[in-house]
Structure 1
């Protein structure tokens, strides 16, 4: 039986709040289970992501209208009010009266008559008086944090490194709904052919702007098509697609992907290698290794040897200088993919960065001896924090003089990447606003 879309959205938001569940996984599961009408999927996604993304702004707006303070309300009532307020402030197409009516109905159903009256009173006051402005916040970091709804520690770090304009652009881009991007399996088909095939199945796609392997989905669900079943493509963000091209593996080489799940970059490497040679894909978690294997099977890639285990242990048990090329797509804070996974900004703490950086350093130290002389190593992350990116690589180069920046990196990447502010000899930081993609860091090193 189909449920009211706002009730479903509230249930997802409460699971995210109470159980720290991931909103993208819950959304996908809810849509897959058919709990809402197809026509409501867009609104459901908007309500869930929007309410999470704008959490801090919504708290600022709501606080003056609850006399006893937000802590006096049951958590689900606060979340219902924030979700309703999100529609008031950020969604123009829904009439205020409909928003209030739906919220009061849910409040009575989930609580009682009194809860309905409270919700009605708060929302009508907001409708009458309007929400407060951020002008009263004189501290720059605090004002930007509330206005764009990002943790203060994150805003402060970005201001120190990128300045106010770039920080605002980054936050604005990260608040936009994510686009669906797919990577064409060029061993089987071409972007032009795939566009035609998808169109026949009711999916509209256009060429990507950054990667020659990318298509951007404009309409429809590509993951329910025969083209998907037949392995003609897989899901991947455009900036993430640059990693395999940066490594530039060749057919019949021996390559290591050292933190490989769920397999997007491993399968891209295999495609680049024409499915010839040896690609060892390692991940710490056994259940995630199955994701690599399943994806490789669907894409028709037979050269991937997926293993579970700690790459540091693998390194100590493996002959040194035995790989032509190595990819370390390191675990990171994920601050470059907030647009796609809005929960990240509320789950991460500033203290996490130091712990993550220590892990990244140990992984880079572990894989380095496995690379042959004359071989290439790519270190990449989906974060834009310099402590996890430039600082890691620069420190590594200081203690490993046998490694140098690979100055040929620009030859393997699209020309527009070389023009971004974050491009340097041998590395690039792609900010979300550069190409409206995920934020990414790619560093390319050669072993002398």
Structure 2
């Protein structure tokens, strides 16, 4: 079968809200067209699904909320169950040439996802929508092929459907399932991979002097159709769904900043005190810098460092006293010494963000872990030299895998290797009040945040006392 495409490979992006699988309205062509373009960008351009989806929905302002929700469900659902869906189709299709055209692939997988997991989408409608879209993207022959495959899949689904959890777990790469099981056990691995809601709500981080209950009420008044509630892990977090562009809400940039709840929890675990000098060593655009600067107050100071100077311009406006462009893997640049506390939110696999970025599971490889863990050790050791003697450092990653968590702590706690800075790092209990609120055991020096336990993205954080 030769696939001849005449489709428009337009730009796509999405965002929207999504409920539990099986609770979506009947499919519409508009929602499926949006989802197909987003999936094509993820596969062809290595785009992030969330960013692509948000941009597309922003461009198509006339798309109603129901269609936006369905487009979001289809994008995230297909990416989370992609391997399972393709295996099911492969058992029904003689050829796999259909996978060579992104539009055909997207509509076929969306049809399969609807048949298997969306209870309220009638089978005839799911098949019809997919087949019509595939005919438009390719030709009648490919449409007939898709019709035969999806009808056979519909017959199978009528006899019994898989659970979404099983399909999501089966779609995770084998190496990732194994790494998760080593880190958090078999049951924990399944719970982590299937954790919802998907996509998760947006997080707001309140400045320490602000009253969370009052701000929840004020934001609800400004956006009465949204879902707005207090977070669970961070005492500064407010979780938001359906409020549109957060920048249009009252208090943005002054009383609060957009920040995922797990990320702000990591910043709080540094335990910054009023009057202290703090370094945000891998600051990015400075969201954690913003929170830390408000913790230390006018009597303290927070500096920001990052390998990307363009991001540091944003960090300066977020409250950094000074910024430093530095590649920690090669040294310390011109970053000064003597900080009371240093936060190292190191580059990592990003596995902890799978709810938000399901495409990560399809892009990472097992050999990435060794390279990333070595990089994390190097970055943390160099950044630790910037503390005063007896100062504290928190090492953090948005991963839950042992190779990037406890294994890195063990290496940092040991004797520095050849060429590494001669700094002694000793694990020490968290001294932030938020550690107790999180239920971290007394005396614990490390914690793993999990979406199915804490409601956050997956993170690991460990605290050290530093001696030179």
> Which TM-score band applies after superposition, normalised by the shorter structure?
0.7 to 0.9
Instruction: Write the distance in 1 (CA, Å) between the matches of 2:71 and 2:246.
Output: 19
Any idea what SS the aligned residue of 1:374 has?
strand
Please give the alpha-carbon distance, in whole angstroms, between the structure 2 residues aligned to 1:145 and 1:127.
17
In the TM superposition, what are the counterparts of 1:11-410 in structure 2 within 5 Å?
11-34=37-60, 37-39=63-65, 40-69=67-96, 74-130=101-157, 147-173=169-195, 176-187=198-209, 189-202=210-223, 203-221=226-244, 223-229=246-252, 231-293=254-316, 296=318, 301=319, 303-311=320-328, 315-320=332-337, 322-399=338-415, 402-409=424-431
Alignment partners' CA distance in 1, 2:76 and 2:404: 26
Cα offset for 1:217? 1.9
Gaps of 5+ in 2: 1-11, 13-28, 417-422
Comparing 400-409 with 328-337, greater Cα deviation is found at: 400-409
Q: CA deviation at 1:351?
A: 0.7
Write the distance in 1 (CA, Å) between the matches of 2:361 and 2:277: 37
Query: Aligned to 1:80, what secondary structure does the other structure show?
Result: helix
C-alpha distance in structure 2 between counterparts of 1:15 and 1:411, whole Å: 44
CA pair 169-177 structure 1, distance change in 2 beyond 3 A:
same
Q: What SS class does the counterpart of residue 462 from structure 2 fall into? A: strand
Q: Deviations over 1:416-447 (max 9, x none)?
A: 4326xxx9721111232212221111101112
Q: Please give the alpha-carbon distance, in whole angstroms, between the structure 2 residues aligned to 1:323 and 1:426.
A: 20
Q: TM-score normalized by structure 1? A: 0.87
Work out the CA distance in 2 between the residues paired with 1:306 and 1:59. 47
CA RMSD, 1 decimal: 2.8
Instruction: Specify whether residues 224 and 317 from structure 1 end up closer, same or farther in structure 2 by C-alpha distance, changes over 3 A only.
Output: closer
User: Deviation of residue 311 (structure 1)?
Assistant: 3.5
SS in 1 for 2:388: strand
Query: Are the equivalent residues in 2 in contact too, given 1:227–1:233 (CA < 8 A)?
Result: no
Inter-partner Cα distance in structure 1 for 2:167 and 2:153: 22
For the 8 Å contact 1:312–1:367, the answer to whether it is kept is no
For 2:336 and 2:454, how far apart are their aligned partners in 1? 41
What secondary structure is seen at the aligned counterpart in 2 of 1:67? coil
Q: What residue is the counterpart of 1:5 in the other structure?
A: 31
1:362-381 Cα distance to aligned partner (Å, 9 max, x none): 11121122110121111000
Displacement of 1:131: 8.2
Partners of 2:102 and 2:216 in 1: CA distance: 46
Write the distance in 2 (CA, Å) between the matches of 1:131 and 1:355: 46
Tell me which protein shows more helix as a share of its residues. Answer: 1
The question of whether the paired residues in 2 share the 8 Å contact of 1:63 and 1:70 is answered with: no
What SS does the corresponding residue of 1:437 show, helix, strand or coil?
A: coil
Question: Where does structure 1 lack aligned partners over 5 or more consecutive residues?
Answer: 136-142
Mapped to 2, the partners of 1:51 and 1:164 lie a distance apart of: 24
User: What displacement does 1:145 show?
Assistant: 8.0
Q: Is the 8 A contact 2:351 2:458 kept in 1?
A: yes
Distance 1:318 1:73 in 2: 50
**Residue 235 of structure 1: CA displacement?**
2.1
- State the TM-score, normalizing by the size of structure 2: 0.84
1:438 matched to 2:457? The reply is yes
Cα distance, 1:404 vs. partner?
2.2
State how far apart, in whole Å, the 1-side matches of 2:106 and 2:169 are: 19
**Does structure 2 conserve the Cα–Cα contact (< 8 Å) formed by 1:409 and 1:427?**
no
Secondary structure at 1:387 match in 2: helix
The change in CA–CA distance for 1:166 and 1:245 in structure 2 (over 3 A counts) is same
Superposed CA offset, 1:378-414 (max 9, x none): 1000101111111112211122674322224464424
Aligned residues: 430
Query: Aligned with 1:182: secondary structure?
Result: strand
